[in-house]
Amino acid sequence: MRDKRTDDAVSDSSEGGTSERDKRTDDAVSDSSEGGTSERDKRTDDAVSDSSEGGTSERDKRTDDAVSDGISVRVLSYNVRSLRDDAAKVAAVISELRPDVACLQEAPRFLRWRSRCAQLARESGLHMVTGGRTAGAVLLLSSLRADVVRAEDVLLPKHAHLHQRGVALAVLAIGGVRFAVATTHLSLDAGERAEQAGLVAGLLTGLDEPAVVLAGDLNDRPGAPAWAAFTGAGLRDAHAVSPWGGTPTFPAVAPDRRIDAIFASAVITVRRCGVPPGLVDPAAASDHLPVVADLVLTKR
């Protein structure tokens, strides 16, 4: 348990293992000091306005009961490039997309990384769940719709001279319906990447949770071993199931490849998934484009 952590706490990769945090960390910042964060029970199917529609977004006012046979959940996957570009723009993109769960890669991981992650959460209208340096610089944020059942960070085995990678994982409940969600960022090295994908797939299988969502930067294209590891573990590529918006995710300035993805288990209905249309100057925020999946959890 890492209950008391400083901004400069450094996780040693040799410690390995996982930390369970049933309660959010001290870095979760109270809304009261920021004038409050609204509960987003009213959600939009088109949270990003399509420029072709004159900049006006259509709002379906989704509530927990908006889907007759389940609970609607919006998941965002976004590589934020360590906030090295325009941090305010990153927060604005996340806030505009209104996710219930934000799965971020390349979150701050060096000096004062905890306070910087907490600030990003606050400015995005979300709350920290788990992650950061202790998860290899991947981060999970959530809205007030989600209750945290449990959370943990897992560091993946690391090859010499390569970046530390990891997984931020949580079991959440929205409207009383549980689901597991994880985010990861796989290696640039093909061999290490395939090894990491297999480990992440095994970790998710071992959760014994029927409803599982995985989001991340895979640093590989569809059909590659990393993708095969996840689909082989029973997860479906959400964009392939119900494509929407754009397909390429990188580089943001002129995207020509899909290396960021959201996967969901078969018990989760995928309404649509893709790069949201109408993003304004996304390259100012990061070198990756965000991916959004609108999902439906079956009430059990």
Q: Per residue in 214-251, pLDDT tens?
A: 999 999 999 999 999 999 999 999 999 999 999 999 99
Q: How many structural domains does the chain have?
A: 1
- Residue 57 resides in a domain: no
- Residue 29 resides in a domain: no
| In contact, 142 and 151? CB cutoff 8 Å | no
Q: How far apart are CA 278 and CA 44, in angstroms?
A: 14
- Read off the pLDDT of residues 241-258 as tens digits, 9 standing for 90 and up: 999 999 999 999 999 999
- Residue 41 resides in a domain: no
Q: Average pLDDT, stretch 171-199?
A: 97
* Sequence-distant (≥ 6) Cβ neighbours of residue 161 within 8 angstroms: none
- Residue 238 resides in a domain: yes
Q: How much is the pTM?
A: 0.80
State the burial class of residue 10 (Cβ atoms within 10 Å of its Cβ: 0-12, 13-18, 19+).
Answer: exposed
* C-alpha distances in Å from residue 242, one per residue of 165, 209, 272, 278, 292: 29, 23, 5, 19, 12
- Residue 100 resides in a domain: yes
- Residue 18 resides in a domain: no
Q: What does the mean pLDDT of the chain come to?
A: 84
- Residue 226 resides in a domain: yes
Name the residue range of residue 142's domain.
Answer: 70-298
Q: What CATH number is associated with residue 107?
A: 3.60.10.10
